Structure 1
Amino acid sequence: MRQTKRYRVNKDNSLWHIYQTVSFWKVVKNVCIIQLGRYMPLLSVKNWLYRTFLRMKVGKTTAFALMVMPDTMFPEQIKVGSNCVIGYNTTILAHEYLIKEYRIGPVVIGDEVMVGANTTVLPGVTIGNGAIISAATLVNKDVPPGVFAGGNPMQIIYTKEELTERQEDDE
């Protein structure tokens, strides 16, 4: 179950009232930093930008590939552990605006997690240490540590034990 906080709205859809939710200038700053980061070839500089200006928690030697899109409204809700790879064109959302409500929830990605290209991580999700997420996955629920998961909707493809056994067979 995703851990999001729900905020009901009256009348117009929730996105119509976006700047009552988050400051316009915060969004402008975040969009500029994120666009710079999306194309930044130096991983250490990209991580510094995200930590310093977006207040994201990013572990050591974590690599955000080209075109990764962190949340523009609430990037401070994103925590990525150490030694992770976040694949090309992945989107990490900490908010979602719906018709009658909006939701905000932290995204926690553990240590040594690999997220494949073109994946979308929804708000309120935790991905456990050592998990592997295949490309083009919609991460719509928590992922246990050490598993291999993928698809839309996301499913566990290999448990931690099955994945360990496969890796031992490869050696």
Structure 2
Amino acid sequence: MVRKVTRYPVEGPNALWQIYKTVSPWKGVKNFICIQAARYCPILPLKNWIYRHLLGMKVGEHTAFGLMVMVDVFFPEKISIGNNSIIGYNTTILAHEYLIHEYRLGEVKIGDHVLIGANTTILPGVTIGDGAVVAAGAVVHKDVAAGAFVGGNPLREMKRSEDTDVSEAFQAQTSQMVGK
């Protein structure tokens, strides 16, 4: 499955050397300062406020970012995360890639009730469906289906044991919310 990214060819030096033709250096500095504040902030509502109001991310209610999460510095507005999801410690969420002869931009969409394990890297242009679980240390380079349990590098579907089966809990919780 190919990630949904838009490719922009460049001529001359590699694309990273040309970054300020695509994004303002002042935006980069402002975003870097805001992201560093959020990375160390222990107050979840304040962290989400920074992401929503200073970085332009779409962050759902009760979503929790672990300590040291690194969101895309140059294009955080291309990241959306649903309600009641957890982004684990030291996870990196990228919406851009700067390569030798091109750069790529892609939206990252993370659904509701998603659990992202610690030290995960999420690449641009992927969608992670509602209720999915991504194991710690994974590299998410393709879409993840709703309710799936994935991990590894390369990313693959993992077998669930009874203590890791969150899809039934997600479905029960969703049924309760709909019934209210």
In the alignment, which residue of structure 2 is the partner of 1:150?
A: 151
- Indicate the SS of the match to 1:112: coil
TM-score, normalised with respect to structure 2: 0.88
RMSD of the alignment, in Å? 1.6
C-alpha deviation, 1:11, in angstroms: 1.6
What amino acid is aligned across from residue 141 of structure 1 in structure 2? K
Counterpart in 2 of 1:26? 27
Query: What is the CA–CA distance in structure 2 between the aligned matches of 1:78 and 1:121, rounded to whole Å?
Result: 11
Q: Distance in 2 between matches of 1:11 and 1:93?
A: 24
Q: Does 1:55 align with 2:56?
A: yes
Tell me the distance in 2 between the aligned counterparts of 1:154 and 1:110.
Answer: 18
Deviation at 1:158, TM superposition (A): 3.8
1:130 match: 131
- 2:173 corresponds to: none
Q: Equivalent residue for 2:9?
A: 8
In structure 2, the residue matched to 1:42 is: 43
- For each residue in 1:116-137, what CA deviation from the matched residue of structure 2 results, as whole angstroms up to 9, or x when unmatched? 0000000000000000000000
Give the letter for the 2:43 counterpart: L
Q: Any unmatched runs of 5+ in structure 1?
A: none
Return 5+ residue gaps in structure 2 as ranges.
170-180
**Would the alpha carbon gap of residues 89 and 164 (structure 1) be closer, same or farther in structure 2, given more than 3 Å must change?**
closer
Aligned equivalents of 2:45, 2:167: Cα separation in 1: 34
Give the corresponding residue for 2:177.
none
Residue identity (%): 58
